[in-house]
Structures are given as structure tokens and as C-alpha cells.
Amino acid sequence: MREAAARLSAVASGVLTAVRRGETERDLALAIDVRIRQAGFERAAFDTIVASGPNAALPHARPGERTITEGDLVVLDFGGVYDSYCVDLSRTWWQGRPIGGPGGL
């Protein structure tokens, strides 16, 4: 379990630093799925969720063609199967610089 958690944490760190304004939810979900496989997971544990802006309020949102823009809340929920163990995590962040704050993660 520790190994699976460490690998998924590394995926999350890489994904969060690679997100760019103007990217679609669907493209980001694909990038996450590729990184999950590259990290040594057998497969994704479930359909990756990427939801931005108004979609971030939808439980179990499906990634679509919406473009991530400045000021969006972005929800990520993803996981992988490693040695028959399913591990997952969720992250929410603000894309850009909130008023009065440092921005980003």
C-alpha cells in the first residue's frame, strides 16, 4: 500500500505542475491516465475525473471539452491499480491567482 500511495503521490505532483491554462478537461484527464501507466500502475482504478469552473460542483463529473481558464476551481479525482491494490486521491485547486493570495496550489 505504501508503494502504491508513493507512486500515486508522484503522479499527482507531476500532473499539478504540468497543468496549463487553456488545456481542456479531457486533455488533462488523458495526461493523468498516461502518467498513471508510466508510474507502473496496471491501469486506472476508475474513470479519471477532471472538472473545472462550473463543472467542479458536479459530483462524478466527466471530463469534457471545457477549457481551463484563469480563476477556475479545478477538481481532480484519479487512481490506479498497483499489485491488485486500488489507490486514489482527489485534489482541488484554484487556477491562477486568487485576489489577495499567492495563487496556484
The answer as to whether 16 is a domain residue is: yes
Q: What is the pLDDT of residue 103?
A: 52
pLDDT of the residue at 9: 93
Intra-chain end-to-end CA distance of the chain, in Å: 26
pLDDT of 105 reads 46
Examine residue 66 and state whether it is found in any structural domain, yes or no. yes
Residue 8 lies in a domain: yes
pLDDT digits (tens, 9 = 90+) for 45-101: 999 999 999 999 998 899 999 999 988 899 999 999 999 999 999 998 877 765 555
State the Cα–Cα distance between residues 73 and 53, nearest whole angstrom. 5
Q: What is the CATH number of the domain that holds 74?
A: 3.90.230.10
Number of domains in the chain: 1
Residue 79 belongs to some domain of the structure: yes
The pLDDT value recorded for residue 97 is 64
Whole domain around residue 77: which residue ranges? 2-94
Q: Is the dihedral of CA 70, 71, 72, 75 positive or negative?
A: positive
Cβ count near 11 (within 10 Å): 24
User: For 19-38, how does the pLDDT look when each residue is reduced to its tens digit (9 = 90+)?
Assistant: 777 899 999 999 999 999 99
